[in-house]
Each structure stands twice: as C-alpha cells, then as structure tokens.
Copies of this chain bind each other. A is one copy, B any other.
Amino acid sequence: MSYGEALVALSDPTRRAIVEALRDEPQPVGVLAGRFPISRPAISQHLRVLSDAGLVAADRAGTRRIYRLSPEGIGALRRYLDTLWDDALQAYAREAHALTEGDPDA
C-alpha cells in the first residue's frame, strides 16, 4: 500500500511537469532543470520525492544521472484506482437502480 506516496508526489504541479518531460525521453538533471524556471536543487528535491514514490528511477552515466519513468509506483497507483473505480461504478449502479425502481434499500 504505497500509492499514498505516489499521490502526494503527483499532487505538485511542478512534479507532474517533470513526469511529463520524462515521458518523451530519459533526461539528466541539468537538462531537466533547464526546462523549468526554478533552481536545479529544487529539481533534485522533486526528483527525490518522485523517486521515493517509485514514479521515476535514475541510471548513472558518469557524473550524470539519467532519470526515467518507473513502472513501479505508477502500477501501484493504477491498481488502487482500478478497485476504487469498481466501487464507484457499483455505487452509481445502485443509485440508478434506486431511482428507476424507487426501491430505497434493497
């Protein structure tokens, strides 16, 4: 049950933008920082949060660290939402049934 960290990580718009940037291709921190109006350390801190949530991962290439999307955290979040989706549909179905049938409890 680690989807909580992933949700916190993706709640920040800057971190979502970082994820969006990594959708195209893996990128080192410096290049990534160049795409945003904030400092490089701030990007590093965001990458730390995203990494802890299992949403991104880094591959070392000399002194550089190439970050890429990681299926780990994304998959966990996806599985959680799938079950939540099922429950939401059941609630919706009961609602529709109650309205058409006029049956308040069963």
Residues of A within 8 A of B (CB): 4, 7-8, 10-11, 13, 16, 19, 22-23, 26, 59, 68-71, 74-75, 77-78, 81-82, 84-85, 87-89, 91-92, 95
A10-B7, A68-B95, A92-B71 as given contacts; A81 in contact with B77, CB under 8 Å = yes
How far, in Å, is A15 (CB) from chain B's closest CB? 10
This chain: copies in complex: 2
How far is it, in angstroms, between the C-alpha of A84 and the C-alpha of B81 when the chains are bound?
14
> A91 touching B68 by the CB < 8 A rule?
yes
> A13 touching B19 by the CB < 8 A rule?
no
> B85 touching A74 by the CB < 8 A rule?
yes
Question: 6 smallest A-B Cβ distances: which pairs?
Answer: A11-B11, A69-B88, A71-B88, A23-B87, A7-B10, A8-B11
